[in-house]
């Protein structure tokens, strides 16, 4: 190789170099040698020590290692630098020091990536929130950690140091017009969620309210439906749901946020009901859409059942008149039959009475 066809040497005792580095990083130094001096015939004729930042790192005898006109390389890792200068010095032991080339590489740590389940949840959230391209939601949500990979997303390393996890989402006043994906429940380490002052619609996910969550701000949107019980069972200290279109009963446990010293704001949601600061749920116009629907369906069901009973009753009554005569009609028929028999007997008696010479009153004159 061309690199090893030339070399730097010095008739004095040493060669010295200084490299600019970043003291916060670690480096790997590669030194390249080739004994191209034909006057060196055996081992020991050219020997020198290599000092890195003042410390003797190794002793080099090129001819002893590889012979003449052959490549010899040596590398060394430098850690915990105290300055932005990395010093390399070759000090002669026998003969003059010689070197063909120096390379210095910064060691970039192999950072973990975001937990796969949370990556999937964030991609679903990206679609449902309709994140604009200007926010750069591409690739890994957290890696690399040297900059904010996804705008508005904060991450940290997991406790077991194996993955990056998402702890905060701050997308307030970004003009978002989508909805909140149910997959947000997979962000199990989420501490703070701010989606305020957008135009988000749909319902609040039923599983939102992870135990890790401390703050949730969904104020000034167009969210509908009821407040999920999951928000009441979390460790929230700040709940801002004001100025939405929420309705229905507020979970009673949600008011424990104030008991724990936190703050809660549900104002601007005309359909909400509960105690102590909201109208009672029985008050007219305060029932949720779901409750109203249930009442209407129940009324329809009851009406259908009543109509069915009336229909069955009418059918049975009609059958009674057709096949089972009422008792009064049957009694009247019996009396009439008895009268006809008595009348027939009376006529027979009269005819017998006048048979002996008296003309029958029923015989025409």
Which domains does the chain carry?
Answer: 2-107 (2.60.120.430), 116-290 (3.80.10.10)
Would you state the structure tokens that stand for residue 241, as one six-digit string? 């749901």
With CA atoms as reference, report the closest residue to 184 among 144, 241, 243, 228.
Answer: 228
pLDDT tens for 26-74 read: 999 999 999 999 899 999 999 999 999 999 999 999 999 999 888 999 9
Which pTM does this prediction carry?
A: 0.54
Q: In what order do the strands lie in the sheet with 153-157?
A: 153-157, 164-170, 192-194, 215-217, 238-240, 263-265
All residue ranges of the chain with pLDDT < 50 are: 284-286, 321-325, 362, 365
Report the distance separating Cα 180 and Cα 195, nearest Å: 9
What pLDDT was estimated at residue 332? 63
Please tell me the predicted confidence (pLDDT) of residue 323: 46
Longest Cα–Cα distance of the chain, Å, equals 191
């Amino acid at each position: 190789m061309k690199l090893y066809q030339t070399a730097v040497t010095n008739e004095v005792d040493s060669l010295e170099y200084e490299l600019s580095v970043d003291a916060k990083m670690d480096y790997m130094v590669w030194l390249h040698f080739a004994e191209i001096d034909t006057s060196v015939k055996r081992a020991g004729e050219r020997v020198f020590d290599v000092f890195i930042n003042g410390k003797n790192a190794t002793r080099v005898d090129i001819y002893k290692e590889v012979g003449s006109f052959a490549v010899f390389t040596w590398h060394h890792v430098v850690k915990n630098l105290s300055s932005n200068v990395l010093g390399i010095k070759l000090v002669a032991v026998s003969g003059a020091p010689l070197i063909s080339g120096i390379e210095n590489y910064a060691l970039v740590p192999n950072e973990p990536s975001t937990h796969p389940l949370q990556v999937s949840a964030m991609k679903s959230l990206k679609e449902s929130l309709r994140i604009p391209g200007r926010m750069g939601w591409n690739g890994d949500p957290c890696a690399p950690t040297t900059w904010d990979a996804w705008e508005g997303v904060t991450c940290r390393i997991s406790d077991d140091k194996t993955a990056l996890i998402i702890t905060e989402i701050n997308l307030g006043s970004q003009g978002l017009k989508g909805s909140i994906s149910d997959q947000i429940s997979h962000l199990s380490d989420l501490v703070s969620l701010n989606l305020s002052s957008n135009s988000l619609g749909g319902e609040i996910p039923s599983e939102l309210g992870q135990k890790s969550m401390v703050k949730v701000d969904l104020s000034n949107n167009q969210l509908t439906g009821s407040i999920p019980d999951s928000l009441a069972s979390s460790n929230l200290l700040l709940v801002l749901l004001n100025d939405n279109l929420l309705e229905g009963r507020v979970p009673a446990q949600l008011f424990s946020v104030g008991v724990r010293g936190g703050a809660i704001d549900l104002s601007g949601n005309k359909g909400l009901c509960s105690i102590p600061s909201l109208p009672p749920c029985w008050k007219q116009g305060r029932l949720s859409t779901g409750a109203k629907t249930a009442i209407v369906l129940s009324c329809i069901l009851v009406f259908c059942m009543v109509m069915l009973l009336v229909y069955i009753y009418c059918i049975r009554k009609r059958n009674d008149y057709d096949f089972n005569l009422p008792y009064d009609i049957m009694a009247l028929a019996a009396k009439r039959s008895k009268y006809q028999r008595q009348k027939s007997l009376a006529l027979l008696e009269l005819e017998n009475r006048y048979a002996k010479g008296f003309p029958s009153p029923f015989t025409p004159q």
